[in-house]
């Protein structure tokens, strides 16, 4: 009598392995994990930007890096698209987070030039409509109580991503 597996036994084992693989794939849901990873990166980026702005402000005696720009003189609550371009116009973008930055930009390249940031972060690609020119997918808002809000124009698995300092 020959020892070995029959074709039926092999097919049953293959079917069980395929079912287990399908269950594991569905349970892990890689699309959601990729979205969560991009949202985590956005949260880390805006925290880094906000911290760099505050450290720069302390180092410069309370003045914001954009003091020569029009951010602090604008109405509080006005959103500015973060850019590294030399121009402060061309930011006609509405963030997914319902933040309208109509033709208002703030260039934060100085934070990278001065060593507060390695480079001005760019939001990971998603489904947002904010990508235009040198826009980075993040916004800055100057608040009435001298705080700033930095947020992401896009979030995939969260309502919004922002930090206020």
**DSSP per position, 59-115:** HTTT--TTTTTTTTTSPTT-EEEEE-SS-S----EE-TTS-EETT-EEE-HHHHHTT
- Indicate whether 99 belongs to any domain: yes
In a domain, 48, yes or no: yes
Question: In which domain, by residue range, is 105 found?
Answer: 36-164
Residue 22 covered by a domain: no
Looking at the domain assignment, is residue 92 inside a domain?
yes
Q: Does the residue 83 lie in any domain? A: yes
13-24 pLDDT, tens digit each: 999 999 999 998
Q: How many helices (H) and strands (E) does the chain have?
A: 3, 7
**The pTM of the whole model exceeds 0.85:** no
**Is position 123 within any domain?**
yes
| Mean pLDDT value across the chain | 80
Q: Provide the pLDDT for residue 105.
A: 78
Q: Is residue 24 part of a domain?
A: no
Contacts of 48 (CB under 8 A, 6+ apart): 117, 121
Which residue, chain included where needed, has tokens 């505050």?
54
Q: For the chain, how many structural domains are there in total?
A: 1
Residue 30 structure tokens: 């890689």
Of the two residues 42 and 158, the one the predictor is more confident about is: 42
pLDDT in tens, 149-162: 899 888 888 888 88
pLDDT value at position 74?
59
- The edge-to-edge listing of strands for the beta sheet with 148-152 is 105-107, 79-83, 135-142, 148-152, 162-164
Q: Which helix (H) or strand (E) holds 141?
A: strand 135-142
Residue listed under structure tokens 């906000």: 50
**Looking at the domain assignment, is residue 55 inside a domain?**
yes
Kindly report, residue by residue over 57-111, the tens digit of the pLDDT: 888 888 777 654 555 555 677 778 887 776 655 565 667 655 665 567 788 888 8
């Amino acid at each position: 009598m020959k020892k070995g597996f029959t074709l039926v036994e092999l097919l049953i084992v293959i079917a069980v392995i395929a079912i287990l693989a399908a269950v594991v794939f569905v349970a892990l849901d890689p699309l959601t994990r990729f979205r969560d990873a991009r949202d985590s990166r956005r949260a880390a980026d805006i925290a880094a930007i906000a911290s760099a702005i505050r450290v720069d402000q302390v180092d410069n005696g309370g003045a914001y890096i954009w003091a020569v720009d029009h951010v602090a003189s604008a109405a509080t609550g006005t959103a500015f698209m973060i850019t590294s371009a030399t121009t402060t116009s061309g930011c006609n973008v509405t963030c997914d987070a319902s933040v309208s930055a109509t033709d208002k930009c703030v260039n934060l390249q100085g934070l990278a030039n001065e060593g507060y940031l390695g480079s001005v972060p760019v939001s990971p690609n998603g489904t947002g409509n904010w990508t235009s020119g040198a826009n980075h997918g993040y916004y800055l808002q100057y608040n009435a109580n001298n705080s700033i809000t930095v947020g992401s124009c896009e979030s995939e698995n969260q309502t919004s991503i922002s930090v206020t300092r």
